[in-house]
Amino acid sequence: MKVLIIFAHPNPLSFTRAVLDNFCNGLKESGHQFEVVDLYKIKFNPVFQDMDYASFVDKDMPKELFKQMDMRKMIIELAGGLIKRWIAKWYIRNKTDDELIQVINSQKPKVVLEHQKKVSEADVLVIITQVFWMHFPALVKGWMERVLTYGFAYKLNDKGWAGDPDGRIPLLKLKKAIIMQPTFFNEQVYREKGFKTAMESIIDEWSLRFPGVQKVDHIYFHSILSVSPETRKKYLQIAYMKGRELQE
């Protein structure tokens, strides 16, 4: 299988990095193809940019909504200085709404398109990072916001455009997603205080299964700062075996 690994941790000597290395060793032994995208190493920008809005303008969106967004005015305002705004106004002056949508779509950031291609070619998506505020750190959250966009990860039917979450149409063809995260708190805290339920509702269900990922396996390595060396070795063995025994 083809495995895409999204990794994020600033410290090359971190336990999170050791999880990545052991998981990859398991993949190698099983003969899987894999690619590691180290978001820190490539300096991925997690901040949603003005050009990222191009992903949300689609020929299938309700026409009245497109007009309400007043994209002509937005294009002109975002063009830059006075001369650039004049050029933008001149360029779009005679374009129909459908032609304008094509112009906007052509402005999607190249880095986003590159990462979407990686996702579309993978059978399995793996995310290895630490827990921040019961979610992913900003770098990974931003990657999801910029890459798993409308028109690529999902679309909306009429109910969806009206605000009904059941109106989301899944587009992702991934067979499986695996999430591995070292945690600060222990397993009992995650279970009894609802942290585990909250994270899996937002990350596993809404962010991955809802857009079409068939299976999600969320693995926690609890209390990483306080567990014994033996437990750490056990955690790393789990990461290795997840790669070694990876199946659809």
**For 154-185, what is each residue's pLDDT tens digit?**
999 889 888 898 899 999 999 999 999 999 99
pLDDT average, residue stretch 126-146: 95
Sequence spans of domains, the chain: 2-49+112-244, 50-105
With 90 as the cut, is the pLDDT of residue 131 above it? Answer: yes
What's the pLDDT score for residue 74?
77
Reading the block at residue 73, the tokens are 């005015």
pLDDT average, residue stretch 17-30: 96
Percent of the chain with pLDDT over 90: 66
What's the pLDDT score for residue 182?
95
With 70 as the cut, is the pLDDT of residue 248 above it? Answer: no
The per-residue pLDDT for range 64-117, each reduced to its tens digit, is 777 777 777 777 777 778 888 888 888 878 888 778 778 778 878 899 999 999
- CATH fold, domain 2-49+112-244, is Rossmann fold (3.40.50)
Find out whether 174 and 124 touch, Cβ atoms under 8 Å.
Answer: yes
More confident residue, 125 or 95: 125
Average pLDDT, the chain: 90
